[in-house]
Amino acid sequence: MVCEEAANGYEGIVKAQELHPDLIILDLAMPEMNGLQAARVLKRIMPTIPLLMFTSYPVPSLEKEAASAGIRRVVSKSDGAPAVMSAIRSLLAA
pLDDT per 10-residue tile (average), the chain, 94 residues: 86 95 94 94 97 88 94 94 95 93
Count Cβ atoms within 10 A of the Cβ of residue 85 and give its class: 0-12 exposed, 13-18 middle, 19 or more buried: exposed
What pLDDT score does 57 carry?
81
Q: Residue 47 phi/psi, 5° resolution?
A: -65, -20
88: CB partners within 8 A, 6+ apart:
23, 25, 52
CATH superfamily of 9-93: Response regulator (3.40.50.2300)
What pLDDT score does 58 carry?
75
- What is the C-alpha to C-alpha distance for residues 48 and 30, in angstroms, rounded to an integer? 23
- What is the C-alpha to C-alpha distance for residues 24 and 4, in angstroms, rounded to an integer? 10
